[in-house]
Each structure stands twice: as structure tokens, then as C-alpha cells.
Amino acid sequence: MNLDYSAAGILLGNLLDNAIEACEKIEVSKRWITVNIIYKEHTLILKICNSKEIKKANIALSSKRHYKQSGIGIHSVTRVVEKYNGTIEFWDLDDSFEVSAILYGILSEVEL
């Protein structure tokens, strides 16, 4: 695919890191993460869902100890999505969180 490795790493790495961090705040028996990646007609769709605390998530602020400013990871993810003329949406669903990203103009190896 013409999605470069660094962009894929930023996208998956940051979103999965956030999902794992959210799961670590709840009891083990309630932890879960699902990842769906679909490629169809030059479009890459990524959806990550995870369990979380019931309190509202604030994606604009990092909860990591060494970051006191806004979440750098989400900003990086948003830049990657914009680079590929895509869209990204976040949904806080009380005890779960979903993020869906769609990237357009992604060519498979066969099409390159």
C-alpha cells in the first residue's frame, strides 16, 4: 500500500496505546479492545473500540504523567488522517470508546 510505515505506525500505535491505557484503568474482567481494518476501493477504514471507565473521556488532554499539555498522540493521528484526505471521528459511549478513521486514495501494492 502507499501508506508509509511511519504514518501507519503513528495511526495504529497512538490509537492502540490510548485504548490500552483506558483499559488499564478498569478491572481486568471488563477489559476488551477490538480492531477492524478494512481496505476497499482505494479506501482504508480503521475502527478501534475499547472498554473504559464510565466517566467522560477528554481526548484533547493527555493523562500520561509526563505530558501536561494536550494529547500529542491524537494530534499526530489527526495529521496523518489529514495527509491522506481522510476523516476521523471519536465516540464516547459511557463504558466504551470508539474511534473510526477513513483514509482515501490508498493504493494496494498491485495498483502501484
| One pLDDT digit (tens) per residue for the chain, 112 residues | 888 899 999 999 999 999 999 999 999 999 999 999 999 999 999 999 999 999 887 766 555 555 544 467 899 999 999 999 999 999 999 999 999 999 999 988 777 6
CA angle 62–89–15, rounded 5-degree value: 45
Q: Looking at residue 60, what is its pLDDT?
A: 62
pTM: 0.85
For residue 89, CA distances in Å to 8, 9, 41 come to 17, 19, 21
Please give the CATH topology (third level) of the domain spanning 5-104: Heat Shock Protein 90 (3.30.565)
pLDDT of res. 109? 74
Residue 14: strand, helix, or coil: helix
Q: How far apart are CA 24 and CA 36, in angstroms?
A: 21
Distance CA(3)–CA(7), nearest Å, equals 7
- Please give the Cα distance from 70 to 48 (Å, whole number): 21
SS3 assignment, position 83: helix
- Asked whether the beta carbons of 47 and 100 are under 8 A apart, the reply is yes
